[in-house]
Amino acid sequence: MRVVWRPSALTDRDNIMNHICQDNPDAALVLDEIFELKADQARQRPKLYRRGRVFGTHEIVATSNYIMVYMVLDETVEVVRILHARQKWPWTESTAGSS
């Protein structure tokens, strides 16, 4: 089993790191390590974590503020998104602008 990060997840990760790094670069590095750790935990036990709100996904709580959304495809755990816990997910027309 391997981990693949979708471009959408990499963009989320980069945006989160840039935002946190403005105030606390050390915290950003720690959080990035947590994202790697959680992705590896999902790789090791992909079905352990709760089913996602979007069909075919699972969600793992990375921290109290961030949730990683992933899919299990054959021998791959594909990280789809990293979301702030307060973000609306999945998006609908009525919530698309309120994340």
pLDDT at 36: 97
Q: Quote the number of domains for the chain.
A: 1
Q: In angstroms, rounded to a whole number, what is the distance separating the alpha carbons of residues 72 and 2?
A: 10
- Exposed, middle or buried, 9 (CB in 10 Å: 0-12/13-18/19+)? buried
pLDDT digits (tens, 9 = 90+) for 17-49: 999 999 999 999 999 999 999 999 999 999 999
Report yes or no: 53 and 59 within 8 Å, Cβ to Cβ.
yes
Which structural domain range is residue 41 located in? Answer: 2-84
- In this predicted structure, the answer to whether residue 95 has a pLDDT above a threshold of 60 is no
Domain assignment present for 48:
yes
Domain assignment present for 93:
no
- In this predicted structure, the answer to whether residue 92 has a pLDDT above a threshold of 80 is no
pLDDT digits (tens, 9 = 90+) for 61-73: 999 999 999 999 9
Q: What is the CATH number for 6?
A: 3.30.2310.20
pLDDT at 91: 60
Contacts of residue 88, Cβ cutoff 8 Å, sequence gap at least 6: 95, 98, 99
